[in-house]
A and B are shown apart, each in its own frame.
Chain A
Amino acid sequence: NAGVTQTPKFQVLKTGQSMTLQCAQDMNHEYMSWYRQDPGMGLRLIHYSVGAGITDQGEVPNGYNVSRSTTEDFPLRLLSAAPSQTSVYFCASSYSSGGTGVKDEQFFGPGTRLTVL
């Protein structure tokens, strides 16, 4: 299994440009999420999805859109990039254990480093 993959690894945008960060997992996980990490900070949740066709907002959703048309893919769209969105973006996935005793481990991708000028 490739696990959680993210593309691109690095991206530079100009203010106002739009782009999509790709995330895919091959573990048949129901749950997927996007986090951002600013320098010296912990990760903050942007959006998440508990299954295909279902998404919800996290702590910092403004300026980002998501959709989940398949179990495998969960792209993150920046509609109009701003310098405040300069960050490292991590995608994660896990089983939705619902208390069944599965250890509920989240698997993280390698990250996308985004700079908005």
Chain B
Amino acid sequence: DAKTTQPPSMDCAEGRAANLPCNHSTISGNEYVYWYRQIHSQGPQYIIHGLKNNETNEMASLIITEDRKSSTLILPHATLRDTAVYYCIVRVLGSQGNLIFGKGTKLSVKP
């Protein structure tokens, strides 16, 4: 699986959009981009995933660049409960389920 690069930390004002970047310049053609988050002391939680098209669900939007070398997770209206570590992971769909976690981005949503 390819590696990813994320900023170690970011701040966001409550109610504003949080844009979390991820670089995955060595991604392969059959690798998807997944995002998970981990709220303090809890198990990670799946957010969204995509291959090359932009994706949106009830939690977030995922924007993937045309060359697929980077992506951005967007939380449209961040709340204090969105304070967490966000992990960007690339992997082949169904590839034995293994997830390779980096250190992620610590997002702090401030009032």
Q: Which B residues, 81 to 111, have Cβ-Cβ distances below 8 Å to chain A?
A: 87, 93-94, 96-104
Q: Does A40 contact B (CB under 8 A)?
A: yes
A74 contacts the other chain (CB 8 A):
no
Chain A residues bordering chain B, tally (CB within 8 A) = 32
Cβ 8 A contact of A99, one of B42, B46, B87, B93: B93
Q: Please state if A48 and B98 are interface contacts (CB–CB under 8 Å).
A: yes
Within 8 A of B (CB), among A68-115: 88, 90, 92, 94, 96-100, 103-111
For the complex, is A53 an interface residue (Cβ under 8 Å from B)? no
Interchain CA distance A90-B38 in the complex, whole Å: 12
Distance (Å) between the CB of A49 and the closest chain B CB? 10
- The number of A-B residue pairs with CB atoms under 8 Å apart is 66
Interface flags for A57-75 (1: CB within 8 Å of B; 0: not) read 0100000000000000000
The 8 Å CB contact of B43, one of A42, A56, A94, A108, is: A108
Establish whether residues A31 and B97, one from each chain, have CB atoms under 8 Å apart when the complex forms: yes
Q: Does B44 contact A (CB under 8 A)?
A: yes
B23 to chain A, nearest CB (A): 16
Contact B43 A92 (CB under 8 A): yes
Is the pair B96, A97 in contact by a Cβ cutoff of 8 Å? Answer: no
- Whether the pair A111, B103 counts as a contact (CB closer than 8 A) is no
Give every chain A residue within 8 A of B43 (Cβ-Cβ).
4, 90, 92, 108-111
Binding site for A on B (CB under 8 A): 36, 41-46, 49, 87, 93-94, 96-104
**Besides the contacts A92-B97, A96-B97, A104-B94, what 14 more A-B pairs have beta carbons closer than 8 Å?**
A31-B97, A33-B97, A43-B101, A45-B98, A45-B100, A92-B43, A96-B96, A97-B93, A99-B94, A103-B46, A106-B44, A106-B97, A108-B43, A111-B42
18 A-B pairs with CB atoms under 8 Å apart are A42-B103, A43-B99, A45-B98, A48-B98, A90-B44, A92-B44, A92-B97, A92-B99, A94-B97, A99-B93, A103-B46, A103-B49, A104-B97, A106-B36, A106-B44, A110-B42, A110-B43, A111-B42
A residues with a Cβ closer than 8 A to B are 4, 31, 33, 35, 40-45, 48, 50, 56, 58, 88, 90, 92, 94, 96-100, 103-111
